Amino acid sequence: MFNRKIIEIDKPIFKNNVFFYNISTTYDLDKYFLKKDSFIDYIDVKDDLSSVPEGISIIPVLCNILPVSWIMDATIFIDELDKTFFESIKAIKENFSMMFPKIEFKGRLIVKKIVDYDRIFMEDKYMPFFSGGVDSTFTVINNIDKKPILASIWGSDMPIDETEGWKNLSNIINQFSKEFDLEKVFIKSDFRELLNIRKLNEEILAINDNWWHGLQHGISIISHGVIYAYKKQIGNILIASSHSTRDLEERGVEVIPCGSSPIIDNYFKFSNCKVIHDGFDFTRQEKIGKIVDYVNTNDKKVYIKVCWESISGKNCSSCVKCCKSMLGILAEKQDPNLFGFEFDESILDEVYEKVSNPENYGVYWDINKGNYWKHIFERFQEDPEYWKEKKNLKWIFDLKL
């Protein structure tokens, strides 16, 4: 007998390269949804996507809702689904359960028709998700010989109502694609406006994480590449790592709880396409070093967009993420101003003040929480002779890391 908590997803409606989704739920699940419809718009794609089958085009909205089913022990009903993806869900769910043992992952997925879409995919075609940040920029450069196709989502970090911010960000992405002679695809989606994250966060207090970071963002972002990859026969979708093997070693753990992880992303498969969690062998500082080296060696210009404090689509050059990136670039003996920041040496004094008094500025300024600051300062300390004239950096060399 089915659980009485039910989610039904209708057959996708396609019009002008936009996929529309309609959802219905039993009343006890209503509070977890802000609305019952969603869309994905391939805003600059010239190809007609109408030939993409239902069992593929349903995957993006399904991935957004699957964690709701698991945590709320609800049953999802859909008409059709790709066989390979259907089979991959089991491993993804089990690995989430292993990652978060304090909560139970239940729920069911009932599919009327499971189809084996045995389509030929090109194993030499790669599509990384690209936001312009450190991780995704490294992933592109790390795979530059493969001429990857960049996929960027308007609606992930940049809200879909921020048209001016998206204009600035899309210009940055356009410049990057031209600089490196790469194809790109822009995807507009309201997937972050579908769920009531505040209510869902209340259901997962035991995991000491939030819904977006812990459960949603990995498979939801990846799923936005499925339709285009199927149409263009792209054999590999790449998503950049946030953590690294060194992070695991330093924390003494086998896995870092995160919705995007090798044990989640690498198990995501559909038809004959696979997903690669890229860059896990590199720390964030090592990625910055590789980016700087590549830019210097190949005479390229790269605007690194890391800031989500500013909705302008540009870096604010004052938040913790901007400061980590600026100091990371400086530690590689390069000028942060060349990478899209507004940097001067007064920022070094500001960082010193904030990392010295994290109780006044927040946990992300605490060099004992996480490893990003530690790896930046270690990089400075590798060459004290080079920095000896920089008096406002002396405090870094006094740190016991």
Q: Per residue in 136-174, pLDDT tens? A: 999 999 999 999 999 999 999 999 999 999 999 999 999
Whether residues 109 and 244 share a domain: the answer is yes
pLDDT at 261: 98
How far apart are alpha carbons 127 and 150 in whole angstroms? 6
pLDDT of residue 313: 79
What tens digit of pLDDT does each residue of 239-288 get?
999 999 999 999 999 999 999 999 999 999 999 999 999 999 999 999 99
Q: Write out the residue range of the structural domain in which residue 367 sits.
A: 306-397
Calculate what percentage of the chain has a pLDDT beyond 90.
91
Instruction: State the Cα–Cα distance between residues 270 and 78, nearest whole angstrom.
Output: 17
CA 259 distance to own-chain centroid: 9
Q: What's the confidence (pLDDT) of residue 371?
A: 75
pLDDT above 90: residue 401: no
- Is 1 a residue whose pLDDT tops 60? no
Mean pLDDT for 162-187 is 96
195 is a domain residue: yes
Residue keyed to tokens 């209708």: 10
**Are 256 and 310 part of one and the same domain?**
no
The CA-CA-CA angle for residues 28, 30, 31, to 5°, reads 95
Same domain, 267 and 314: no
Determine the pLDDT at residue 2: 56
- 52-66, pLDDT tens digit by residue? 999 999 999 999 999
In a domain, 300, yes or no: no
Q: What is the pTM of this model?
A: 0.95
| 234-245 tens-digit pLDDT | 999 999 999 999
Do 73 and 123 share a structural domain?
yes
Burial 137-175 (b: 16+ CB within 10 A, else e): bbbbbbbeeeebbbbbbbbbbbebebeebbebbbebbee
Specify the length of the chain in residues: 401
Q: Which residue has the higher pLDDT, 134 or 398?
A: 134
- 171 shares a domain with 91: yes
How would you class 181 by CB atoms within 10 Å of its CB: exposed for 0-12, middle for 13-18, buried for 19 or more?
exposed
Count the domains in the chain.
2
Residue 289: inside a domain: no
Q: Residue 398 pLDDT > 70, yes or no?
A: yes
Segment 218-230 shows an average pLDDT of: 98
Residues 165 and 258 in one domain: yes
Span 357-380, average pLDDT: 91
Rounded to an integer, the average pLDDT of 28-43 is 97
Give residue-wise pLDDT tens across range 87-124. Answer: 999 999 999 999 999 999 999 999 999 999 989 999 99
Give me the chain's average pLDDT, please. 95
pLDDT at residue 68 in the model: 98
Q: Are residues 204 and 313 in the same domain?
A: no
- Residue 3 pLDDT > 70: no
Residues 262 and 388 in one domain: no
Cα–Cα distance, 263 to 245 (Å, whole number) = 13
| Cβ–Cβ under 8 Å, residues 158 and 166 | yes
Verify that 242 and 387 share a domain, yes or no: no
Q: Do 313 and 217 belong to one domain?
A: no
| Residue 310 pLDDT level (bands cut at 50, 70, 90) | confident
Asked whether residue 294 is domain-assigned, the answer is no
- Same domain for 318 and 361: yes
The answer to the question of residue 284 being in a domain is no
Q: Are residues 204 and 156 in the same domain?
A: yes
